[in-house]
Amino acid sequence: MTRWPVLVLYQAGRAMARSLALELAGHIAYTALLAIFPFLIFLAALSGFLGSGAESLATVEDAVNLLPGDVARTLLPVIREVLTSRDSGLLTLGLLGALWVASNCIDALRIALNSAYGFDEPRPWWRVKLSSLGAIVIGAVVFLVLSVVVVLGPVIWDGLLWLLPLSDSDHWAFGALRYGVAAVVLLGGLLALHCWLPGRRLALEALLPGVLVTALLWLGAASLFSFYVANLGNYTATYGSLGGVIITLVFFYISAVLFIFGAEVNAALLRRQGRMGRKKPVSG
d(CA 102, CA 130): 12
pLDDT tens per residue across span 30-58: 888 888 777 776 766 666 555 555 555 66
Q: Give the separation between CA 17 and CA 28, rounded to whole angstroms.
A: 17
Q: What is the pLDDT of residues 187-245, one digit of tens each?
A: 888 888 898 889 888 888 889 999 999 988 887 887 787 777 777 666 666 666 677 77
Task: Of 166, 159, 139, 266, give the one whose Cα is nearest residue 207.
Answer: 266
Contacts by residues 133-137 (CB-CB < 8 Å, ≥ 24 positions apart): 133/99, 133/100, 133/103, 135/103, 135/106, 135/193, 135/196, 135/197, 136/39, 136/42, 136/99, 136/102, 136/103, 136/106, 137/99
Give the whole-angstrom CA distance, residue 57 versus residue 63: 10
pTM of the predicted model as reported, rounded to 2 decimal places: 0.77
